[in-house]
Structure 1
């Protein structure tokens, strides 16, 4: 997994060993030179850099290897590249649901998308349900906003979130549709992509989403309008985890 913004990159890597693989998160500069590396506790799945390049986040599976079922556990970390301070498990943040503190032993957090150097959005799962949460790094809080949201991606203007939503009648291994939520009205709408999307979509611009689907050589990249109109189109074959650099 890879992402980059404002001269900072994050690359999640597997290190193949004779007996078992290990994994690491490598922070890169604008020339893809390594700045710092961190060991991670499991299989890489999501990575994001804040718009300023000051923060990087990643999620790994520490048990299980798929979001499709319920038998998995994740670990999500955020690193400040100015100080190299790390919050290595966002599950330690205080959760606020409907204005009240919420505690549970089964909380999982994954799929960070940054608004700025303090605020972010992510998925929080507990009790068999998923929620969109707004995170506050300074206050160390996660506040629930909307149900049935996984792997959110904030639009460039900060007003919408693209995400995968579990839909009724879908198969257990391909249960998602790609949706967009208006954060001002909390109204959600489906995109024109009818296939199951197991990815954290990326905004190519204010009106276009990019995401990966299985292809002949791993994954291919596709695009679809964010407003529900149009059709899905192939962007690139044999590719995954893109980043648009300004």
Structure 2
């Protein structure tokens, strides 16, 4: 009798534990489903075809969608003149993204039980994978050249913020015509103050392209940052101006927008958005007074678009490049923009 009672008690306990476990799973699934539904007032996002070709319907704005829901982190598209309109989601997830002339660069995370790894994926005009490359760390910047022939990306090899000095980056450029990969721009020869420069602490990040040979980027060494002009053929980096981070070249090639460290600001929020005239090396502060930790994008010769923290993680804002006007919102729940058309 005692054995029978014990068996009955054991069976009841197993049933109860199973019921509790099932209830916990269903509760967690319900919470996830609720979380993944679009928050009230958030942007409308639906699945659909997304192309990197210029559309007959007008200029397009593409970006990583940050709104909660089944399409979070996917590359989405909206009409550029209605950036708060319904979004079309591609199904392709990227942490960082940029596109030009039918070529896209998508920096992705690959999750596993042991660790997260990262890769840089070159996409065709229908966002299909053409080639991928292992990335040595956390994705942070990406750009495609105006021709669509070159793609660049930067990752944090150690550290995860530009605010301090305890970080290391790796920046690569690939030619999508022949898949020639410059895996680490730190291997290029550096000219600083008119002389060859070598140091063990050089970091390069934030490429922006002029054409298929010339690019600009940030070089950091000895606690200083510099705007450098790169030459892919000569494999050189020539310093042009100090205190420049995450440069972005204007469409006409005459100015660079960038983050500048301003004395007196907090150590964890030290940057303001500036524009440098490359002919005169004259700096102009934009009207944006908040801390900018992004590589701004030119939406035309006269305006800049960039990300700031928001309710969903990040929002896009715009400001005139000439120092006039004021900062205005573009759209919520978005980061890593690219304009087509």
TM superposition score category, shorter chain reference: over 0.9
Q: Are 2:322 and 1:219 equivalent residues in the alignment? A: no
- 2:103 pairs with 1:5: no
1:96 maps to which of 153, 175, 191:
191
**Larger fraction in strand:** 1
1:52-71 aligned within 5 A: 52-71=147-166
The alignment of Structure 1 onto Structure 2 pairs a total of residues equal to 246
Structure 2 spans left out of the alignment, 5+ residues: 1-95
SS at the partner of 2:151?
A: strand
Query: Which of residues 173, 194, 214 in structure 1 aligns to 2:289?
Result: 194
Map Cα deviations across residues 72-110 of structure 1 (whole Å, 9 max, x no partner): 000000000000010000000000012210000000000
Q: 1:122 and 2:220 equivalent?
A: no
SS at match of 1:181: strand
- Which protein has the bigger helix share? 2
Q: In structure 1, what is the equivalent of residue 243 of structure 2?
A: 148
Q: Give the match's secondary structure for 1:91.
A: helix
CA RMSD, Structure 1 to Structure 2 (Å): 0.4
State the match for 1:111 in structure 2.
206
1:14 to 103, 106, 109: 109
Work out the CA distance in 2 between the residues paired with 1:99 and 1:132: 14
Partner secondary structure for residue 79 of structure 1: strand
- The equivalent of 2:302 in structure 1 is 207
Show the counterpart of 1:174.
Answer: 269
Q: Secondary structure at the match of 2:186?
A: helix
CA distance in 2, matches of 1:99, 1:128: 19
Compute the displacement of 1:132 (Å): 0.1
- 1:218 and 1:16 map into 2 onto residues whose CA distance is 20
Separation of aligned partners in 1, 2:328 and 2:180: 41
Residue 203 of structure 1, CA deviation: 0.1
Q: Deviations over 1:103-122 (max 9, x none)?
A: 00000000000000000000
Tell me the CA shift for residue 196 of structure 1.
Answer: 0.4
TM-score (norm 2): 0.72
Which residue matches 2:133?
38
Runs of 4+ in 1 over 3 A off after TM superposition: none
SS in 1 for 2:162: coil
Question: Are residues 1:230 and 2:329 paired?
Answer: no
Residue equivalent to 1:82? 177
From 258, 274, 278, the counterpart of 1:183: 278
Any stretches of 5+ residues in structure 1 without a counterpart? none
Mean CA deviation greater in 17-26 or 126-135: 17-26
Q: State the structure with more CA Rg.
A: 2
